A = this chain, B = another copy of it.
Amino acid sequence: MGFTSCRYRLTIEYDGTGYSGWQTQKNARSIQGTLIEAARDLFGADVDVQGAGRTDAGVHALAQVAHLDAPRRLPPQRLLFGLNDLLPAPINILKVEEAPAGFHARHSARGRSYLYLISRHRTAFGKRYVWWVKDDLDPGRMKASAEIFLGFHDFASFADKRIDKHLSTEVQIDRAEIIARSDMIVFRIAGSHFLWKMVRRLAGILVEAGRGNLSRTDIERLLVHASELPARCTAPPSGLYLAQVLYEGDRLAPVEIPPLPFFLR
């Protein structure tokens, strides 16, 4: 009991637009830092918050998971309302639960799932939330290309070695799919873990495939030989959403993307 009884599991959504990313940084407004400040205000004492995944500046989350180590117990609902009252609008706690024994948001995670939204049309409302690609994209080519990523591969071509030097570039991808709709193209990818900017580089390569600039063979080669091409094709952060963090026993949630509203067409 004691310390571990004060660990809470938080599920958090955020609009990453105005933030330097998840991770606390000096002289920059981060999601983690903002959560820690709110929790300190609530408890009047030092509080630690650790997230399951580090999202980059401008990247959003629909369900980031974090654990919060509090100096004393509070009913989960009171913690939820208390934190949301203190947090700015772009950060919204969806759920608070007491963490099971031994739970660690990052170390206990078995997988992550991301969505990347590509819209065909400029709108006054969408720039923060999608990637506009004016060119015609061939969803069939994108689907076939996404399937190449499935399975266990070395994604070194999609990693930034300066940043991820301690992380294995061998990643198990369990799902890589393209959902094409009249208003947008959604790339959904789920896997064991993801390297820095990896999903944005995968999305960028798929868009090149959709434009007809890359063949299946070109993409297969990226998984075998190191290449700088994915870095040059990095998709913008605005379209990226951390959608789900999976723990022991969790199943990948179905993609639920209702039609975009009139103002995000």
Contacts and interface: CB of A to CB of B under 8 A. Distances in A.
A24 interface: no
B261 A127 contact: no
A145 interface: no
Given A84-B122, A122-B84, A122-B92, A263 B127 contact: no
Interface string A107-124: 000000000000000111
A129 B264 CA distance: 11
A72 to B, nearest CB: 26
A189 B122 CA distance: 27
Given A258-B258, A264-B261, A92 B123 contact: yes
Among A91, A241, A257, A262, which residue has the most Cβ atoms of chain B within 10 A?
A262
Contacts of A259: 258-259, 261
A249 B91 CA distance: 46
Nearest to A122: B92
A-B pairs, top 8 by smallest CB distance, nearest first, are: A89-B127, A258-B259, A92-B124, A13-B124, A15-B124, A14-B124, A15-B125, A90-B124
